[in-house]
A and B are shown apart, each in its own frame.
Chain A
Amino acid sequence: MSAPEEASALDGQIGLWRAHLERRGAMGTADVDELEDHLRGHVEALLDAGLSDEEAFLVAVKRLGSQDAIAREFAQENSKRLWKQLVLGGAPTQRADARAGGLAAVAFAVLGGLLVQVPRLWSAGEELYLRNASLLGLAALVAYLLWRRPQGRTFALATLGALVGVAVVANVLPLDAHSDAMLVTALHVPILTWLVVGVAYAGRRWRDVDGRMEAVRFSGEWVIYMALLAAGGGALAGVTVAVSQAAGVDAGLFVEGWLIPSGAAGAVVIAAWLVDSKQSVIENMAPVLARVFTPLFALTFVALLAVVALSGQALALDRDVLLVCDAVLVIAVALVLYSLTARPDDAVAGWFERTQLALVGGALVLDAVALVNIVGRLDDGWTINRAVVLGINVILLVNLAVTGWLLVRLLRDHPGATRALERWQTGLLVVYGAWAVVAILILPPLLGRV
């Protein structure tokens, strides 16, 4: 056998080994490159020691460890890829398999659909829905997640207890159904409910940065699936109304009272099931969406700032403009948070991070303008609306300022910068929850609205 042939036989074996490792999905190409360098280094040392090609390859592969073990370690290290390992390489238990089925998701979806209709039993008024809509709509999702990823009885009870706690917070203060305070409650209870959903999804790892990042990723993908399901559901409702009208039956009440609310509550669970079971579809979509919308929002900020500057009233903005600003700011922060979960750990900072920095910078300026306006309004006295908007803007300002600073560090290739950004953003989740409690429970009595 001539030398070149031997070399190519070894290359062939290494190629097969590579292909096998890549198929497992837990490792990126760069990771496998690195392992191949290690393997070849070891093979060379063994060849120098007098082993044959085949012997050297076998010994080096054995020293590297079983592919299963390596893939598992890589997957644990990179939790964003953990599911791939579970799907492709791991040995899922029979029980976990049974729980992944769509049938179970449908059962929970039906439960959710029925749950939103429960208040009909005593023909409850608008107030109950304003306070509890998110709880009614998401309780089945929390139950499904707890069942889908069993974490032990204590954890399940604690999570359900948290849900009851949110219900207490939502209902404890007596409020006028048409007051601003009621509107504030209606807008803030969903934050608390969704935090409970996040805890149910992250399981026992809800305190870890990684566990929280997974919950954030789940939330973002859930929103995407909900939007898709809503588009389909809207078409379905439209067709139902059109067909029944043609048949001379008024289906409006049925569609409004039963089809839409119960359908939406069911879709909540189905979307969660889709996130877990069709993950590879979304994994390709999420980074694309983040990359499409981040530049678009950066442009939106430029436009908004231009509008504010040209109006010549940057310090006396219209109330509606302020509200639009706040809504856009919240979406921008959500976008930054969500793009983080789609960012590979070994990504090199480039144009996308620069765009993000531009987005955060624009948001920061806009937020500062909004804050000046709000403080100006406080001269006319404190109202619950002003206090709430002030609080939200202060939280956003601090969030954006630190995020911008961390993005600068990321762009300068500061070691550990991605991690610091993840830690900062996931740490803020607790702050959002605390703020929601303040807005619901403390501000109304403080400002004399009870």
Chain B
Amino acid sequence: MDIPKDLVAASAAPLVLSILADADSYGYAIIKRVGELSGGELEWTDGLLYPLLHRLERNGLVASRWGASESGRRRKYYSITPSGTAAIADHRAQWSAVASALDAAWNGARAELRAAAGPREALA
């Protein structure tokens, strides 16, 4: 399945925030986690994660600090802030609204199809 770029971009911020809500993390691990969570369906261009992280940081939703990797490399770790946690709640409400609207639209369409097929079929 090819998920269009717009949809990937729209879901990026809530996904990153939610991953950081579980535990502090760094770029490469976040990308890996997104792959696991989506069963490999969400394909990110790795480099584009960083501008997103920096924007979230500038807006105070995540905080960062420099640490070291296991092999001693400089590594930047990110953690979620209270505003970030609050933002997740907003994202959840928005995405459920979208999902339930789509669900309703698709279920409604199915019902209409059934109705159009006529009473005989409905009885059967």
Instruction: List chain A positions with a Cβ less than 8 A from chain B.
Output: 30-31, 33-35, 37-38, 40-42, 63-65, 69-70, 73-74, 76-78, 345-346, 413-420
Most buried by B among A34, A73, A78, A417: A34
Contacts of B26-74 to chain A: CB distance below 8 A? 26-28, 31, 45-48, 50-51, 54-55, 57-63, 69, 73-74
Instruction: List chain B positions with a Cβ less than 8 A from chain A.
Output: 26-28, 31, 45-48, 50-51, 54-55, 57-63, 69, 73-76, 81, 83
Contacts of A74 in B (CB 8 A): 50-51, 54
CA distance A31 to B27 in the complex (A): 12
25 residue pairs from A and B, CB less than 8 Å apart: A34-B27, A34-B75, A37-B27, A37-B74, A37-B75, A38-B50, A41-B28, A42-B46, A64-B47, A65-B45, A65-B47, A65-B48, A69-B45, A69-B47, A70-B48, A74-B50, A74-B54, A76-B51, A77-B58, A413-B63, A414-B60, A416-B60, A416-B61, A419-B60, A420-B60
Specify the main secondary structure of chain A where it touches its partner.
helix
Contacts of A64 in B (CB 8 A): 45-47
CA distance A346 to B76 in the complex (A): 12
| A42-B46, A64-B47, A73-B51 known; A416+B59 contact, CB < 8 A | yes
CA distance A65 to B8 in the complex (A): 15
CA distance A78 to B54 in the complex (A): 9
Of all chain A residues, the one with the shortest Cβ separation from B68 is A37
Contacts of A70 in B (CB 8 A): 47-48, 50-51
CA distance A37 to B77 in the complex (A): 11
A-B interface, 6 closest residue pairs, ranked by CB to CB distance from nearest: A416-B60, A65-B45, A70-B47, A41-B28, A65-B47, A415-B60
Contacts of B60 in A (CB 8 A): 414-417, 419-420
Sample of 9 more A-B contacts, CB < 8 Å, known A37-B76, A77-B54: A35-B50, A37-B28, A37-B75, A42-B46, A63-B46, A69-B48, A74-B50, A415-B61, A416-B60
A37, A65, A415: the one within 8 Å of B81 (CB): A415
B56–chain A nearest beta-carbon distance, Å? 9
CA distance A38 to B29 in the complex (A): 9
CA distance A64 to B31 in the complex (A): 11
CA distance A76 to B54 in the complex (A): 11
CA distance A414 to B59 in the complex (A): 11
A46–chain B nearest beta-carbon distance, Å? 12
| A33-B74, A37-B69, A419-B60 known; A73+B48 contact, CB < 8 A | yes
Contacts of A418 in B (CB 8 A): 58
B73–chain A nearest beta-carbon distance, Å? 6
CA distance A403 to B87 in the complex (A): 25
Most buried by A among B48, B50, B59, B73: B50
A32–chain B nearest beta-carbon distance, Å? 10
Contacts of A420 in B (CB 8 A): 60
A58–chain B nearest beta-carbon distance, Å? 14
Contacts of B69 in A (CB 8 A): 37, 41
B70–chain A nearest beta-carbon distance, Å? 10
CA distance A35 to B48 in the complex (A): 10
Contacts of B75 in A (CB 8 A): 34, 37
Of all chain B residues, the one with the shortest Cβ separation from A422 is B58
B48, B54, B74: the one within 8 Å of A345 (CB): B54
Of all chain B residues, the one with the shortest Cβ separation from A36 is B73
Assess whether A419 is in contact with B46, with CB atoms less than 8 Å apart.
no
Of all chain B residues, the one with the shortest Cβ separation from A346 is B54
Contacts of B58 in A (CB 8 A): 77, 345, 416, 418-419
Assess whether B59 is in contact with A35, with CB atoms less than 8 Å apart.
no
B116–chain A nearest beta-carbon distance, Å? 46
Contacts of B81 in A (CB 8 A): 415-416
CA distance A436 to B70 in the complex (A): 59
Contacts of B76 in A (CB 8 A): 30, 33-34, 37
Contacts of A40 in B (CB 8 A): 73
